Amino acid sequence: METYGQIYDEGSKLSSLKKLANSIRRETQSDVYKFNISFPLIEQQIFVDNKQLISDIRESGGMSAVTQAKCYRTRWDMHTAYESFWNLGQVAIEIAKMNPLAGRSKPDGTPDPIPYGITESWGLIYKQGNYTAPHSHWPSTWGFVYTVQACDKCSPLIFDQMDESVEFVPKTGQMILFPAWLNHSVPKQQCEHERIKVAGNLDTAWDFKNRTFYREL
């Protein structure tokens, strides 16, 4: 097999790289394996201080950043400034711990609990006609969405990346946890009243070097 240096001496850099790529294709073969896997998509009713969450969302003020959420949205790091968001994130962490996406073992082979932390959290207020375009929360580990205020006529949270789409009709106190790489969306809000949500991300502790984990209250 020709080395990069041998090919490079024969001509331009571009043609050399093409020749190298072709030589690699001729002498290597990739095996692609596909698996049908299951993963947790969790709905749980919880009890937190919704009045305080609403107050904090309104106090924070909306941001003008371009995102997939076409509605009022707060800053990304609400858990660092508001106790209500920090507490909600801790509930999400406890649910994640009970439904691990992956595991690791200690040297003796026994399970080693994976520590999670909040890396982002934000509030959303949907008015009539507002929506969220399809997106994911990758590269985080878990994403979560909590319903602070809504009725069963409000727009659902839709996951359409599976064989059959899954829709969660909102209800106040509803926590949804999902693998962060799953695409999801919210169609246009039809109700005249506000649909208020909190969304966020959880990551394993070793991902936190350059991310907001610890609160700064």
Which residue numbers in the chain have pLDDT < 70? 1-30, 35, 64-65, 102-103, 205-217
Q: Where are the domains of the chain?
A: 1-32, 42-207
Predicted confidence at residue 19, as pLDDT, reads: 64
pLDDT of residue 15: 64
CATH number of 42-207: 2.60.120.620
Full 3-state SS string of 72-110: EECCCEHHHCCHHHHHHHHHHHHHHHHCCCCCCECCCCC
Q: CA distances (Å), 206 to each of 96, 143, 177, 198, 209, in order?
A: 16, 17, 21, 25, 7
Distance of CA 60 to the CA centre of its chain: 22
Q: Which two tokens stand for residue 201?
A: 């991300």
pLDDT of residue 211: 47
pLDDT for position 100 = 75
Predicted TM-score (pTM) of this structure: 0.79
